[in-house]
């Protein structure tokens, strides 16, 4: 398996523009997580899905952020409109249930977002 | 609520010396504990985990961690550091009773000096 695949790897955009980040989890995994990493705040969980259903979106910072998982092999994180403070590295991770509990998470390489 | 603390932002160790990266946690039930490593421009990679059983857990690249319930700690250790061990290390915890999400610490940057 190629692992968790994120695209694009780098995104530079101007304030006010819409940004869409994409993630393909590992086949067979039933959990998908979106994280944001910054120097100031470290690694923050934004939202996670189980079997394509959002379970906890309490980490989503504002209504400008939205995430979808239309099927088991694809998820998007959208920021509309983007702001400079959204600049960060965004990671997607996937996992599967093991003995009834969540197993380790496998991370993608991340998308580095710069909002000018 | 569950939480995890990594008290050191950075740890410097000479190559060949033993290293320790500290982690303490707080959960309501029994903890599931993890260590991940992040190399520059990469995603996090799993190193090891503690679910139950032996308090000393062995993981990838010669790393190990010791679960100490009385001190609520899960320190990462390696007997002899390599320059290639230089990276950002994250401790993470999940409560065995509550939630499916894992809470990550802020990370500790490990510098191995040649």
pLDDT digits (tens, 9 = 90+) for B60-90: 999 999 999 999 999 999 999 999 999 999 9
Residue B20 or B94, more confident: B20
Q: Which helix (H) or strand (E) holds A70?
A: strand A65-71
Find where tokens 């997607």 sit: A92
CB contact (8 A) between residue B43 and residue A33: no
Q: DSSP characters for B7-50? A: --SEEEEETTS-EEE--EEE-SS-EEEEEEEE-TTS-EEEEEEE
Percent of chain B having pLDDT more than 90? 76
Residue A51 or B2, more confident: A51
A41: phi then psi, degrees, rounded to nearest 5: -110, -5
Task: Give the residue from B77, B76, B111, B79 showing the smallest Cα distance to B92.
Answer: B76
CB contact (8 A) between residue A93 and residue B96: no
Q: Number of helices and strands (H, E) in chain B? A: 0, 12
Q: How far apart are CA B95 and CA B102, in angstroms?
A: 8
Tell me the residue length of chain B: 114
CB contact (8 A) between residue A108 and residue B43: yes
Q: B50: which 2 tokens?
A: 């503690």
- In chain A, residues 19-58 whose CB comes closer than 8 Å to chain B: 31, 33, 42-43, 45, 48, 50, 55-56
pLDDT digits (tens, 9 = 90+) for A45-72: 999 999 999 999 999 988 999 999 999 9
Range in A58-62, B3-7, B14-18, B55-59 with the lowest mean pLDDT: A58-62
Mean pLDDT score of chain A: 93
Range in A61-65, A92-96, B50-54 with the lowest mean pLDDT: B50-54
Answer whether residue A13 shows pLDDT above 70. yes
């Amino acid at each position: 398996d190629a692992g968790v695949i994120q695209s694009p790897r780098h995104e530079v955009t101007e304030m006010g523009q819409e940004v869409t980040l994409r993630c393909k989890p590992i086949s067979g995994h039933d959990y998908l997580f979106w994280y944001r990493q910054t120097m100031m705040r470290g690694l923050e969980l934004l939202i996670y899905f189980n079997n394509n259903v959002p379970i906890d979106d309490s980490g989503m910072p504002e209504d400008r952020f939205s995430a979808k998982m239309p099927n088991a092999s694809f998820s998007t994180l959208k920021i509309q409109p983007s702001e400079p403070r959204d600049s960060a590295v965004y990671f997607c991770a996937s996992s599967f249930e093991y003995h009834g509990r969540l197993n380790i998470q496998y991370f993608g390489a991340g998308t580095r977002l710069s909002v000018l | 609520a569950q939480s995890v603390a990594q008290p050191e932002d950075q740890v410097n160790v000479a190559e060949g010396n033993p290293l320790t990266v500290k982690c303490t946690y707080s959960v309501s039930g029994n903890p599931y504990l993890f260590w991940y490593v992040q190399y520059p421009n990469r995603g996090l990679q799993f190193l090891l985990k503690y679910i139950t059983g032996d308090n000393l857990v062995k993981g990838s690249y010669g790393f190990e961690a010791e679960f100490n319930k009385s001190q609520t700690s899960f320190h990462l250790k390696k007997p002899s550091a390599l320059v290639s061990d230089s990276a950002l290390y994250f401790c993470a915890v999940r409560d065995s009773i509550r939630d499916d999400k894992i809470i990550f610490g802020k990370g500790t940057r490990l510098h191995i000096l040649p």
